[in-house]
Amino acid sequence: MTLRTALLAWYDANARDLPWRARPGGGAHPDPYRVWLSEVMLQQTTVPHATPYFLKFLTLWPTVTDLAGAPDGEVMAAWAGLGYYARARNLLACARAVAAGHAGVFPDTEEALRALPGLGPYTAAAVAAIAFDRPANVVDGNVERVMARLFAVATPLPEAKAELKRLAGDLVADDRPGDWAQALMDLGAVVCRPKAPLCDRCPVTAHCAAFARGDPETFPRRTPKADRPHRFGVAYVLTRGEEVALVRRPPKGLLGGMLALPTSDWRPARWSEAEALSAAPAAAAWRSAGEVEHGFTHFTLTLQLLRAEGEAADVIWSPRRDLEALPSVFLKAARAGLNALL
Ligand code: SF4
């Protein structure tokens, strides 16, 4: 059996049942809006984590035109917990372009999809293949791993990316390209897992060079990563009865446009008490309330917490129960600050 036949037959019998999918082999194609939304969410999180967000978005905004008409702040709040707010901003930019420039209908070719703002080459390929059955080369981390193992690619990531993409591209064909793309994704997610691949359940062992060598888990090879830098900042938990003072972060940059606790700058050195007090958003009886750690993609952060009761100008007073909508780093800091025993 060829690699292609074996993998598609496996997919027909084992495709994951996901709310943005159509069943394989039936010729039905899922709603491009669902495919697009799911792919954007899945670029930074797992299926179990993304699924409730996906369903919430569909309830709030059943069509791309509904999403395009949503206020920025509501979309950002619904996105909180999915990370990378730049993606939520790109999501909105793309939805608005589809609504305004394409009458709410996603274009059906990879080229036209790539021309939309905020829609990158990976997502364009995924939507073209899955929603429109175009022979697009859909390569995410799962597919890279499967290619690295099938062909025992010795070049380490990230240098190997172009080679892995070319190898995946050589396997794309006009017959069932949407199912092929999803079959590779499923194989990578369920069987050819990063650690402990389930080769004994794999439909393509006969075609796998890494399996033949006996060391599949050592692929893809990787260049050792430099450690992420560490930053320190101070977060201020200012309360007024049952309300907490928040600020809106500047539109550009990390967590741009999001509601947040007031903070100092984030820098490589820890903040002294005097420095932390001088950067506070209000004069108040600030007391230390511990600290929290948070990992971002490019650095790790210690937020030293100060808490006080008082008034401040230029803040947004938020009921405590609404803090759940904060980005996770600030939610974590707010909870720790509010629960600290002073
Ligand atoms: Fe991955 Fe093992 Fe299948 Fe090769 S045989 S593709 S390493 S699961």
The span from the CA of 172 to the CA of 14, in Å, is: 20
Ligand 1, pocket-test mutation among 164, 211, 218, 221, most atoms within 8 A of CB = 211
CATH of the domain at 76: 1.10.340.30
- Indicate if 69 and 141 belong to the same structural domain: no
Rounded (to 5) percent helix, strand, coil in the chain: 45, 15, 40
Range of the domain at 174: 137-225
Q: Collapse the DSSP code of 272 into the 3-class scheme (helix H, G, I; strand E, B; otherwise coil) and give the result.
A: coil
- Indicate if 161 and 122 belong to the same structural domain: no
- Indicate if 152 and 198 belong to the same structural domain: yes
Rounded to whole angstroms, what are the CA distances from 97 to 93, 115, 121, 126? 6, 10, 17, 19
User: Would the CB of 199 count as within 6 Å of ligand 1?
Assistant: yes
The span from the CA of 278 to the CA of 194, in Å, is: 47
- Indicate if 248 and 275 belong to the same structural domain: yes
Ligand 1 centre to CA of 9 (Å) is 16
Ligand 1 centre to CA of 208 (Å) is 6
The type of residue at 288 is: S
What pLDDT tens digit does each residue of the chain (342 aa) get? 899 999 999 999 999 988 888 777 666 678 999 999 999 998 877 888 899 999 999 999 999 999 999 999 999 999 988 877 788 999 999 999 999 999 999 999 999 999 999 899 999 999 999 999 999 999 999 999 999 999 999 999 989 999 999 999 999 999 999 999 999 999 999 999 999 999 999 999 999 999 999 999 999 998 877 788 999 999 999 999 999 999 999 888 899 888 999 999 999 999 999 999 999 999 999 999 999 999 998 899 999 999 999 999 999 999 998 888 789 999 999 999 998 776
The span from the CA of 124 to the CA of 318, in Å, is: 39
Residue 286 maps to a domain: yes
Q: Exposed/middle/buried for 131, CB within 10 Å: 0-12, 13-18, 19+?
A: buried
Number of domains in the chain: 3
Last residue of a domain, one of 76, 105, 132: 132
- Indicate if 273 and 328 belong to the same structural domain: yes
Residue 11 maps to a domain: no
- Indicate if 236 and 329 belong to the same structural domain: yes
Q: Collapse the DSSP code of 118 into the 3-class scheme (helix H, G, I; strand E, B; otherwise coil) and give the result.
A: coil
The span from the CA of 151 to the CA of 127, in Å, is: 26
Residue 5 maps to a domain: no
User: Would the CB of 128 count as within 6 Å of ligand 1?
Assistant: no
Residue nearest to atom 2 of ligand 1 (CA): 199
| Tally of residues, the chain | 342
Residue pair 235/303 in contact by the 8 Å Cβ criterion? yes
* 21: number of Cβ within 10 Å: 18
Last residue of a domain, one of 87, 106, 132: 132
CATH of the domain at 295: 3.90.79.10
- Indicate if 148 and 187 belong to the same structural domain: yes
Q: Map tokens 């909105």 to a residue.
A: 92
- Indicate if 242 and 330 belong to the same structural domain: yes
- Indicate if 214 and 279 belong to the same structural domain: no
Ligand 1, pocket-test mutation among 14, 145, 191, most atoms within 8 A of CB = 191
Last residue of a domain, one of 69, 101, 132: 132
Residue pair 199/216 in contact by the 8 Å Cβ criterion? yes
Strand partners of residue 236:
306
- Indicate if 217 and 247 belong to the same structural domain: no
Ligand 1 centre to CA of 272 (Å) is 53
CATH of the domain at 179: 1.10.1670.10
- Indicate if 123 and 156 belong to the same structural domain: no
- Indicate if 118 and 157 belong to the same structural domain: no
Residue 187 maps to a domain: yes
Going by the DSSP 8-state scheme, the letter that residue 340 receives in this structure is -
Catalytic site includes residue 293: no
Residue pair 280/236 in contact by the 8 Å Cβ criterion? yes
Ligand 1 centre to CA of 3 (Å) is 12
